[in-house]
Structure 1
Amino acid sequence: MKRSFIPLLATGLLALASCGDANKSTSAEGGNASDNTMTSSATGGDTVSANMPAGSENPENQPQNAGTAQSNTGNGAMRGTDGAMGGMAKGDPNGPTAPHKDDAEFMKSAAHSDQNEIQQSKMALQKGVTGMAKEMANKMIADHTKSTTELKAIAAKKGVKLPTDMDAEHKALAPTMQKLSGKEFEQRYMAQMLTDHQKTANTMRAHETMTQDADLKAFIGKTVPVVEQHLGMAQQNGNMKM
């Protein structure tokens, strides 16, 4: 019995030793497998990143870029609106008027303005206007004849020949005015005085800031208050009609 037990005990011990080595090997291999898995994950991450479209590795970039694009587009739209609004301001017949390119052009324009008011006012008196329209017409003829005389003296010194008639716009308007009579004519005449004097005042103020000519600066400084007085009369008449 003792002899048969010893071989069996030896065999059992050998089996246990074999199992222990196998477990160590498995643990080592398991560790390597884990390492390989981590390495594979890291490598896989790089591979995915390399294959993804630019910027997709950081999804936050896309909304940021889109926001920038929208912001730039919005700014462009606002600039466009500002430009449109600037264009409208320049086109407003009663709004700011840009100064003329030079003094000679300004003097010719001012001479036309005088003739516009003088000749329309003579027409008004011929048609027998009454009340404020008659007062306006008489004042227009007197004041604009005076400014014409003063402007002629300045133009002569500068070698500028001034026009002696209305401008094309008012020549074209004359036939329509001639067809009117009574209160209808008076209303149209006073409305035209309002429009004309607003333009003239704006033009003179604009050119006053541009010109370097002392004679013209003095002329404008003296004439604008008279033009604005005429404008006030036309505005008062308009308010009375309302």
Structure 2
Amino acid sequence: MLHSSRFLMLAGFLGLASCSPDASQKDPVAEAQFQNEKRIGDDNVTEKQERDAEFMVEAASDGMLEVELGKLAQQKATQPAVKTFGQHMVEQHAEANAALKTLAGQKGLVLPASLGREQQDTYAKLSALTGTAFDKQYMALMVDDHKKDVGEFEDMSEDAYDGDIRGFAAKYAPVLKEHLDMAKEVNEQVEDLP
């Protein structure tokens, strides 16, 4: 009797496992957040450390999106200033992403390996556009994204629990501010295009 109940429990677990969603369907950003929360929960650390981990995941997903959209801008943009801006985003964000990945490795934090669903949606919407419509949407998005990023990085340069994460945020906040200024300038050039 004991063996049959164990068998039924095992069969139940296997049944549950087979019903679980395919791993390829998981959102990489949500999965990274989950893995970090699980580790933080297991280690019984503070809410501030959880915020640090969230910041790292958000910075990684935003950085990856900036690179992918920058590549797209180099291919699709009609205005030379937009193409140049896209190239600058690829170079600058690739460098920041590499530094972020190294830092996450040192801190034992998981970062998303690819774009999350929200970032994929943004990419899909922009890739569907052509001509000046692409230029205008891309640059408007770059202004909005960099405003948000500058605020996050400035906050974390003061508020991050971990000193190295504070240092990372402090190092890249001025770079993002520079990107924001450039994005505003190029956006002004394209927003009145037909």
TM-score by length of 2: 0.68
Q: Which amino acid aligns with 1:109?
A: E
Q: Would you say 1:180 and 2:103 are equivalent positions?
A: no
Q: Measured at CA, do residues 213 and 172 of structure 1 come closer, stay the same or move farther in structure 2, by a change above 3 Å?
A: same
Match of 2:40 in 1: none
> In the alignment, residue 160 of structure 1 is paired with which amino acid?
L
- Alpha-carbon offset, residue 184 of structure 1: 1.1
Confirm or deny: 8 A CA contact 2:77 2:132 kept in the other structure. no
Which of 82, 105, 130 aligns to 1:133? It is: 82
* Partner residue, 1:42: none
For 2:131 and 2:181, the matched residues in 1 are separated by 23
Q: What is the alpha-carbon distance in structure 2 between the residues aligned to residue 239 and residue 189 of structure 1? A: 12
CA contact (8 A) 1:116 1:167 kept: no
Query: Is residue 169 of structure 1 aligned with residue 115 of structure 2?
Result: no
Letter in 2 for 1:238: N
Moved over 3 A (4+): none
Please say if residues 190 and 237 of structure 1, whose CA atoms lie closer than 8 Å, have aligned partners that are also in contact. yes
Aligned match of 1:30: none
Matched, 1:234 2:183: yes
Contact kept, 8 Å, 1:191 with 1:238, in 2: the verdict is: yes
Counterpart in 2 of 1:124? 73
Partner of 2:71, secondary structure, is helix
**Equivalent pair of 1:100/1:106 in contact (CA under 8 Å):** no
- How far apart are the structure 1 equivalents of 2:163 and 2:50? 17
Larger radius of gyration: 1
Residue 123 (structure 1) shift: 1.3
Counterparts in 2 of 1:133-152, with a 5 A limit? Answer: 133-152=82-101
Question: How many positions carry a matched residue from both structures?
Answer: 144
Structure 2 stretches of 5 or more lacking a match?
A: 1-47
| In structure 2, distance between residues paired with 1:107 and 1:189 | 24
Q: Give the TM-score taking structure 1 as reference length.
A: 0.55
C-alpha RMSD over aligned residues: 1.9
Q: Any unmatched runs of 5+ in structure 1?
A: 1-98
Distance 1:236 1:128, change over 3 A: closer
- Seen in structure 2, the aligned counterparts of structure 1 residues 221 and 204 have a Cα distance that, compared at 3 Å, is same
Matches within 5 A, 1:39-78: none
Q: Which amino acid aligns with 2:118?
A: E
Question: Residue 159 of structure 1 corresponds to which residue in structure 2?
Answer: 108
**Shift of residue 237 of structure 1?**
2.0
The structural deviation recorded for 1:128 is 4.6
Matched, 1:111 2:60: yes
| Cα deviations by residue, 1:87-117 (Å, 9 ceiling, x for unpaired) | xxxxxxxxxxxx9952111111110110110
Higher relative contact order (CA 8 A, sep 6+): 2
